[in-house]
Amino acid sequence: MVVRTLFALLAMLTVSAAARADVAVPSQAEVKSTYSTGEKVCGKLSLAALTGKSPWLVMGVGGAVEYLNTPDERKDRLGLFAQPWAWGTMLVLVLLVAFKDTVLTVFSQL
Protein backbone atom coordinates (compact mmCIF):
# COMPACT_ATOMS: atom_id res chain seq x y z
CA MET A 1 0.00 0.00 0.00
CA VAL A 2 2.77 2.43 0.93
CA VAL A 3 4.69 1.63 -2.26
CA ARG A 4 1.61 2.34 -4.39
CA THR A 5 1.05 5.65 -2.62
CA LEU A 6 4.67 6.68 -3.13
CA PHE A 7 4.52 5.64 -6.77
CA ALA A 8 1.31 7.63 -7.30
CA LEU A 9 2.87 10.68 -5.64
CA LEU A 10 5.95 10.38 -7.83
CA ALA A 11 3.77 10.10 -10.94
CA MET A 12 1.80 13.22 -9.97
CA LEU A 13 5.00 15.18 -9.40
CA THR A 14 6.35 14.08 -12.76
CA VAL A 15 3.14 15.10 -14.54
CA SER A 16 3.06 18.47 -12.78
CA ALA A 17 6.69 19.11 -13.72
CA ALA A 18 5.95 18.23 -17.34
CA ALA A 19 2.96 20.58 -17.33
CA ARG A 20 5.25 23.45 -16.32
CA ALA A 21 7.66 22.73 -19.18
CA ASP A 22 6.22 25.61 -21.21
CA VAL A 23 7.80 28.20 -18.87
CA ALA A 24 9.92 30.72 -20.76
CA VAL A 25 13.65 29.98 -20.67
CA PRO A 26 15.83 33.04 -19.92
CA SER A 27 18.57 34.04 -22.34
CA GLN A 28 22.21 33.20 -21.65
CA ALA A 29 22.98 36.84 -20.78
CA GLU A 30 20.16 36.92 -18.21
CA VAL A 31 21.38 33.70 -16.65
CA LYS A 32 24.98 34.93 -16.37
CA SER A 33 23.92 38.21 -14.81
CA THR A 34 21.65 36.64 -12.19
CA TYR A 35 23.91 33.86 -10.89
CA SER A 36 26.17 34.62 -7.98
CA THR A 37 29.65 33.15 -7.65
CA GLY A 38 28.40 30.54 -5.21
CA GLU A 39 25.72 29.40 -7.63
CA LYS A 40 28.30 29.11 -10.42
CA VAL A 41 30.55 27.03 -8.15
CA CYS A 42 27.64 24.76 -7.19
CA GLY A 43 26.73 24.38 -10.86
CA LYS A 44 30.26 23.30 -11.73
CA LEU A 45 30.40 20.87 -8.82
CA SER A 46 27.06 19.35 -9.76
CA LEU A 47 28.37 18.93 -13.32
CA ALA A 48 31.33 17.06 -11.85
CA ALA A 49 29.03 14.82 -9.84
CA LEU A 50 26.79 14.10 -12.82
CA THR A 51 29.64 13.26 -15.18
CA GLY A 52 31.74 11.36 -12.65
CA LYS A 53 34.73 13.69 -13.07
CA SER A 54 36.97 14.95 -10.31
CA PRO A 55 35.57 18.17 -8.79
CA TRP A 56 39.09 19.61 -8.74
CA LEU A 57 39.45 18.92 -12.45
CA VAL A 58 36.08 20.48 -13.31
CA MET A 59 36.65 23.54 -11.12
CA GLY A 60 40.23 23.97 -12.36
CA VAL A 61 39.37 23.71 -16.05
CA GLY A 62 36.22 25.82 -15.60
CA GLY A 63 38.19 28.53 -13.80
CA ALA A 64 40.94 28.50 -16.42
CA VAL A 65 38.44 28.77 -19.28
CA GLU A 66 36.62 31.61 -17.52
CA TYR A 67 39.91 33.43 -16.84
CA LEU A 68 41.24 32.99 -20.37
CA ASN A 69 37.97 34.10 -22.01
CA THR A 70 37.67 37.27 -19.90
CA PRO A 71 39.04 40.56 -21.29
CA ASP A 72 42.11 41.88 -19.45
CA GLU A 73 40.31 44.90 -18.00
CA ARG A 74 37.73 42.67 -16.26
CA LYS A 75 40.03 39.93 -14.89
CA ASP A 76 40.41 41.66 -11.52
CA ARG A 77 36.64 41.27 -10.93
CA LEU A 78 36.51 37.51 -11.47
CA GLY A 79 35.36 35.17 -8.73
CA LEU A 80 37.54 33.10 -6.45
CA PHE A 81 37.74 29.97 -8.60
CA ALA A 82 38.57 31.94 -11.76
CA GLN A 83 41.77 33.37 -10.26
CA PRO A 84 44.97 31.73 -11.60
CA TRP A 85 46.27 30.80 -8.14
CA ALA A 86 43.05 28.87 -7.41
CA TRP A 87 42.59 26.97 -10.66
CA GLY A 88 46.33 26.50 -11.08
CA THR A 89 46.58 24.89 -7.66
CA MET A 90 43.62 22.60 -8.40
CA LEU A 91 45.09 21.47 -11.72
CA VAL A 92 48.51 20.82 -10.14
CA LEU A 93 46.84 18.70 -7.45
CA VAL A 94 44.92 16.73 -10.10
CA LEU A 95 48.17 16.11 -11.99
CA LEU A 96 49.91 14.96 -8.80
CA VAL A 97 47.09 12.55 -7.98
CA ALA A 98 47.10 11.21 -11.55
CA PHE A 99 50.89 10.75 -11.37
CA LYS A 100 50.60 8.98 -8.01
CA ASP A 101 47.91 6.65 -9.32
CA THR A 102 49.95 5.87 -12.43
CA VAL A 103 53.14 5.16 -10.47
CA LEU A 104 51.31 2.96 -7.95
CA THR A 105 49.67 1.02 -10.76
CA VAL A 106 52.98 0.40 -12.50
CA PHE A 107 54.88 -0.58 -9.34
CA SER A 108 52.10 -2.72 -7.93
CA GLN A 109 52.63 -5.19 -10.76
CA LEU A 110 56.32 -5.70 -10.02
pLDDT at 90 over 60: yes
pLDDT-wise least confident of 25-29, 38-42, 52-56, 102-106: 25-29
Distance of CA 94 to the CA centre of its chain: 16
Cα–Cα distance, 81 to 90 (Å, whole number)? 9
pLDDT, tens digit (0-9, with 9 covering 90-100), for 21-39: 555 555 665 555 556 666 7
Cα–Cα distance, 19 to 14 (Å, whole number)? 9
pLDDT at 17 over 50: no
Q: DSSP string of 76-108?
A: GG--GGGSHHHHHHHHHHHHHHHHHHHHHHHHH
pLDDT at 10 over 70: no
7 or 98, which is more confident? 98
Instruction: Provide the whole-model pTM.
Output: 0.54
Cα–Cα distance, 60 to 98 (Å, whole number)? 15
Cα–Cα distance, 91 to 63 (Å, whole number)? 10
For the chain, domain boundaries: 38-110
Buried b (16+ CB within 10 A) or exposed e, 37-47: eeebbeebeee
